[in-house]
């Protein structure tokens, strides 16, 4: 019956701002609290799982509609670099590019020079995300100069033996990714030019390893082709990049040598976000409210509940698919998970023909502890993918079970309940996956959203005694030229989303 009444042209213009037209808040006939943000998520839980999760476990109010926040990325696992040149003198390290090292030049006690460059930005310790071409950081880019090398440190440098010209190239990169051994070099001095993106290390060889002939430094992905000429943003960390990285592996000093040099990182970056105003209105004449109907006698109660679900449904869509924007007219929008991860996070390809082994490779890249050391990730997926997980488990159960005591069950532990949401739990070598079906992903090219709940926040606007987190404004309006009064409730939410540490989020898309 509320459809018979319009909140538009039939209402006096000065009454359109419902909240402003009411002097005193009313709890309404349903005895709801004036602000009931914690209760609205109880309605139709399975329809809006993302809103349910963030409103329950990741709520962090803000007192500014254009809020700012900081991200912190630690550097303890980022003291690595790649050899981009080398030689018996410092001058030789700035020319050439040949990966070959003459074994006689790196005997224990020999001095040798290495040019080092890396692929993450020192300001904020920002690194590449898997499959993400936006913001790609190549080895030796501006802002990536390795400043952590200090005299007295020991550096592990991997290499390959028995490699000759033409024996392998990019087409057989797997060969180039497997070091045979490593050298240990003690840093004697570091030449860091502030106008450059490299650091030149003068070292003394401490360990040569098994190399007895010409061997190739593993930083090179092909013969005479240094890693600073390669696009590394789409390379797997564990299988391709790690075997080429040179890590600091401690330090050594003589007795009574005094205080060594030191360095400090800058682990912080800042980001901004916006709140978005959501409004849903429910209106009905007092005559209609007082009329008892069949089936559901109280028409106002029925419509009011549906409007609450509609309001929540709109928020779910926005925090999934919205994009951040600032408008001159004040109609700002907040960031959505899909837009944020597509622009900043890890991106993997998906199809239902993907095997369990392929998916395991994706998980090993996404959950590498040197890269993303948090396990608080929830995976929301489309109906098709949700069924895919169940089908894999059912196939293995039916075809690979040997006895009741031994079964290859794809480690699908079954369903459990988290905050009222049905969650499929899948056990993997990289931890348990908590998988939730999200119907909003059906019909899109987004198949799985991996969202780290430690690095996402729902931010309602609260300040100066005013709470804009899902409030109800109750009023009475008189229909123009009719003298008929009607009850009008406005459901209002002003909130935004904060996503941080993009490497902790991932997306699988078709």
CA dihedral 318, 322, 328, 330 (to 10 degrees): 20
pLDDT, one tens digit per residue, over 399-447 is 445 455 544 445 676 778 888 888 988 887 777 889 999 999 999 999 9
Q: Is the pLDDT of residue 176 over 70?
A: no
Taken in order 456, 461, 466, 469, is the CA torsion positive or negative? negative
Closest CA to 6 of 19, 17, 16, 21: 16
Are 497 and 458 a contacting pair, CB within 8 Å? yes
Q: Residue written as tokens 């550096």?
A: 155
Give Dmax (Cα) for the chain: 102
Tell me what pLDDT residue 251 has. Answer: 95
Helices (H), 373-503: 383-399
Q: Is the pLDDT of residue 133 over 60?
A: yes
CA 469 – CA 55 distance, rounded (Å):
10
Over residues 241-268, the mean pLDDT reads 92
Q: Is the pLDDT of residue 3 over 70?
A: no
Return the domain boundaries, the chain. 2-70+273-509, 80-251
Closest CA to 422 of 56, 47, 51, 38: 47
Q: Is the pLDDT of residue 253 over 90?
A: yes
pLDDT, one tens digit per residue, over 76-118 is 889 999 998 888 888 766 655 677 788 888 999 999 999 999 9
Between 174 and 205, the more confident residue is 205
Encoded tokens for 428 = 């993997």
Q: Residue written as tokens 């050439």?
A: 96
Q: Is the pLDDT of residue 27 over 60?
A: no
The count of residues in the chain is: 510
Encoded tokens for 507 = 């997306």
Q: Is the pLDDT of residue 173 over 50?
A: no
Tell me what pLDDT residue 223 has. Answer: 55
CA 45 – CA 41 distance, rounded (Å):
7
Between 112 and 5, the more confident residue is 112
CA 347 – CA 448 distance, rounded (Å):
10
CA 36 – CA 21 distance, rounded (Å):
21
Tell me what pLDDT residue 371 has. Answer: 77
Tell me what pLDDT residue 95 has. Answer: 55
Tell me what pLDDT residue 81 has. Answer: 95
The three-class DSSP label of residue 83 is strand
Q: Residue written as tokens 């090179």?
A: 220
Between 140 and 26, the more confident residue is 140
Are 459 and 62 a contacting pair, CB within 8 Å? yes
Alpha-carbon distances, residue 90 vs 137, 151, 155, 190, 200 (angstroms): 26, 16, 17, 11, 7
Q: What share of the chain is helix, strand, coil (3-state, %, to 5)?
A: 25, 35, 40
Closest CA to 267 of 71, 504, 68: 71
Closest CA to 510 of 384, 412, 393: 384
DSSP string, 302-350: HHHHHHHHHHHHHHHHHHHH---B--TTS--B---HHHHHHHHSEEEE-
Are 488 and 18 a contacting pair, CB within 8 Å? yes
Residue 449 exposure: Cα atoms within 13 Å on the Cβ side: 29
pLDDT, one tens digit per residue, over 268-306 is 999 999 999 999 999 988 888 899 999 888 998 899 889
pLDDT, one tens digit per residue, over 459-476 is 999 999 999 998 888 888
pTM, entire model: 0.83
DSSP string, 413-431: EEEEEETTEEEEEEEETTE
Tell me what pLDDT residue 438 has. Answer: 95
Tell me what pLDDT residue 249 has. Answer: 95
Tell me what pLDDT residue 141 has. Answer: 93
Q: Is the pLDDT of residue 393 over 50?
A: yes
Share of the chain above pLDDT 90, in %: 46
Encoded tokens for 337 = 């998970």
Share of the chain above pLDDT 70, in %: 81
Tell me what pLDDT residue 23 has. Answer: 38
Over residues 369-380, the mean pLDDT reads 82
Q: Which of 55-59, 153-157, 206-210, 386-390 has the lowest mean pLDDT?
A: 386-390
């Amino acid at each position: 019956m509320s459809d018979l009444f319009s909140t538009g042209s039939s209402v006096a213009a000065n009454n359109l701002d419902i909240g402003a037209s009411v002097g005193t808040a009313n709890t309404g006939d349903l005895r709801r609290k004036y602000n009931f943000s914690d209760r609205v998520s109880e309605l139709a839980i399975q329809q809006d799982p993302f809103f349910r999760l963030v409103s329950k476990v990741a709520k962090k109010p803000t007192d500014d509609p254009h809020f700012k926040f900081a991200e912190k990325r630690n550097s303890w696992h980022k003291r690595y670099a790649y050899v981009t040149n080398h030689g018996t003198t410092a001058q030789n390290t700035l020319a050439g590019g040949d990966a070959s090292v003459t074994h006689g030049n790196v005997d224990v006690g020999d001095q040798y020079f290495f040019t080092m460059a890396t692929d993450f930005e020192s300001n904020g310790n920002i690194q590449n995300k898997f499959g993400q071409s936006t913001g790609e950081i190549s080895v030796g880019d501006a802002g990536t100069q390795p400043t952590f090398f200090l005299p007295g440190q020991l550096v592990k440098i991997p290499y390959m033996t028995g490699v000759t010209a033409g024996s392998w190239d990019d087409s057989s990169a797997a060969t180039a990714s497997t070091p045979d051994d490593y050298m240990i070099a003690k840093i004697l001095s570091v030449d860091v030019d502030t106008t450059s993106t490299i650091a030149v290390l003068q070292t003394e060889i401490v360990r040569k390893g098994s190399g007895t002939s010409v061997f190739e430094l593993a930083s090179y992905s092909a013969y005479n082709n240094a890693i600073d000429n390669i696009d590394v943003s789409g390379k797997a960390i564990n299988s391709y990049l790690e075997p080429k990285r040179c890590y600091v592996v401690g330090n050594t000093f003589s007795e009574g040598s005094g205080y060594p040099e030191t360095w400090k990182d800058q682990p912080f970056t800042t980001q901004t976000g916006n709140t978005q105003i959501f409004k849903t209105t429910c209106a009905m004449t007092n005559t209609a409210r007082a009329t008892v109907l069949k089936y559901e006698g109280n028409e106002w109660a029925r419509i009011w509940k549906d409007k609450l679900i509609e309001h929540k449904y709109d928020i779910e869509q926005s925090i999934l698919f919205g994009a951040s924007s600032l408008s001159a007219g004040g109609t700002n929008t907040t960031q959505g998970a899909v837009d944020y991860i597509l622009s900043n996070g890890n991106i993997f390809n998906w199809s239902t023909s993907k095997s369990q082994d392929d998916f395991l490779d994706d998980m090993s890249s996404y959950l590498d502890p040197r890269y993303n050391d948090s396990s608080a990730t929830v995976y929301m997926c489309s109906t098709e993918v949700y069924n895919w997980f169940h089908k894999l488990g059912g196939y293995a159960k039916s075809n690979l079970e040997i006895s009741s005591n031994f079964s290859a069950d794809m480690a699908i532990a079954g369903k459990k309940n988290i905050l009222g949401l049905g969650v499929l739990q899948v056990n993997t070598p990289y931890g348990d996956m908590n998988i939730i079906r999200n119907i909003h992903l059906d019909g899109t090219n987004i198949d799985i959203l991996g969202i780290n709940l430690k690095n996402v926040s729902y931010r309602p606007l609260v300040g100066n005694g005013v709470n804009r987190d899902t409030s109800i404004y109750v009023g009475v309006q008189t229909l123009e030229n009719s003298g008929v009064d009607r009850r009008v409730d406005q459901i209002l939410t002003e909130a935004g989303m904060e996503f941080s540490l993009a490497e902790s989020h991932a997306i699988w898309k078709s």
